[in-house]
Amino acid sequence: MRCVVFIFLLTGVNGSSNNQLNFPFDVARDPNSGALYISDSWNHRIMSYFVNASSGTVVAGGSGPGTNNSQLNYPIGIYLDLPSNSLFIANYNSNNVVRWVLGASSWTLIAGSSSGANGTSSTLLYRPLDVTVDFMGNVYVADAFNHRIQFFLAGSLNGTTITGVSVTFGSDSFHLYYPYAVALDSQLNLYVSDCLNHRIQNFYSIEKHNNFII
């Protein structure tokens, strides 16, 4: 977490009750209901809050850090996928990405190891920090400590590196250096916060993803 500057202003109080958070890292908003989803990382859970509510509801995790399928393990980036009514969660300390259908009590594995193993192969991740999903259900993961963005066709656990060079960091246009966040636009152009290079990289879909789209 070398890029993250934690500012311990003594105005906040952390905690684990339903009106408290402990290192929230990411938010996603449901444009229909207005509900806000928050990755409450150090409580190993995702909370939902309705507008102006003074407390939230645990929608995922909340049973301590761990690798069983009802637990999360320092979740960081989240993506709300409306078509599947689910949250995709970059489950940082378990080295995987999981999908949690809203209302369900457990996750299903989307990428990486279900047991939490890290690695550099096409089926493993190392400290994933963020995830996004396109309209076809394909998944893009900021595989931060492998310095790469992994692409998983919907339903596949075998990924392809679409930007960056696996395991090798660098500062030219082919390399990344701890990618932290990913976002897509409606044309499937990919935006990556390339944290330790202090830049945002834009990868054009036509260049990088034509194997998958056409």
By the criterion CB under 6 A, which residues form the site for ligand NAG? Answer: 51-52, 63-64, 66, 68-71, 118, 122-123, 158
Nearest approach in angstroms of CB 202 to ligand NAG is 26
**Helices (runs of H) and strands (runs of E) counted in the chain:** 2, 15
Phi, psi of 89 (to 5 degrees): -125, 125
Nearer to ligand NAG, 32 or 186 (CB): 32
Nearest to 151 by CA among 198, 117, 188: 188
Nearest approach in angstroms of CB 60 to ligand NAG is 13
Nearest approach in angstroms of CB 123 to ligand NAG is 5
Nearer to ligand NAG, 65 or 183 (CB): 65
Q: Are 129 and 90 in contact (CB under 8 A)?
A: yes
Nearest approach in angstroms of CB 83 to ligand NAG is 25
CB burial of residue 164 (10 Å; 0-12, 13-18, 19+) = buried
Nearer to ligand NAG, 118 or 138 (CB): 118
